[in-house]
A and B are shown apart, each in its own frame.
Chain A
Amino acid sequence: AQSVSQHNHHVILSEAASLELGCNYSYGGTVNLFWYVQYPGQHLQLLLKYFSGDPLVKGIKGFEAEFIKSKFSFNLRKPSVQWSDTAEYFCAVNAPGYNDMRFGAGTRLTVKP
């Protein structure tokens, strides 16, 4: 079965700093990749997704992610974070033939004003 690793458990940044959150998955075939965000006290919301085409995917709120197939990675980036980006971020993967979606453990982002 596929699995997802998020190596950063907690990231602390100052406003305007650049962000990159790592995500690696283990599955050799075609995959769909997602980033979800969970703001404090709220449910998960889809930030962006990749299934084919341009490996650089742009999502909401200025986030983007790059799919690098050779590295089995789907890292999330934002050039300049804001205090309102404080949240937990989850990478997830599903694949044809597998009936469930696997989530990473999550990365908590704290942005200091």
Chain B
Amino acid sequence: DADVTQTPRNRITKTGKRIMLECSQTKGHDRMYWYRQDPGLGLRLIYYSFDVKDINKGEISDGYSVSRQAQAKFSLSLESAIPNQTALYFCATSDPLASSTDTQYFGPGTRLTVL
């Protein structure tokens, strides 16, 4: 869905490096999310933001930080990357006013490898 974009799409980095993954959306949604996907574990929520001034930890926030620079932008940072952060990272958006179920719409994902 081109309405939610993620950069970069692929990244290989070394242990200890600082990494930033970026997410932008043109859907006009207030809510944004960061997930990681690991084989056999499904998607797990890292952080979420319900508006620019609202940031919340998800299920697995340790080792990560986020920044909501604007309604349309939500960045995920790994301050000091470690190999077990190798995963596929997804950004998602939702708007509870547009959908009674608060359906989430996903970006294309960023494949991160930490050596």
Contacts and interface: CB of A to CB of B under 8 A. Distances in A.
A5 to B, nearest CB: 10
B48 interface: yes
A35 to B, nearest CB: 12
A51 B103 CA distance: 11
Contacts of A6: 42
Given A32-B101, A49-B103, A94-B102, A43 B1 contact: yes
Q: How large is the interface on A (under 10, 10 to 19, 20 to 34, 35 or more residues)?
A: 20 to 34
Given A100-B58, A100-B59, A43 B41 contact: no
Contact of A90 (B43, B48, B107): B43
B74 interface: no
Contacts, number: 55
Interface of B: 1, 33, 35, 40-45, 48, 50, 56, 58-59, 90, 92, 100-109
A101 B106 CA distance: 13
A8 interface: no
18 contacts: A9-B40, A32-B100, A36-B106, A43-B1, A43-B90, A44-B92, A45-B106, A46-B103, A90-B43, A92-B43, A94-B101, A99-B56, A100-B33, A100-B45, A101-B45, A101-B102, A103-B43, A105-B41
Contacts of A9: 40
B42 A43 contact: no
A74 interface: no
A108 to B, nearest CB: 9
Nearest to A36: B106
B101 A44 contact: no
Contacts of A32: 100-102
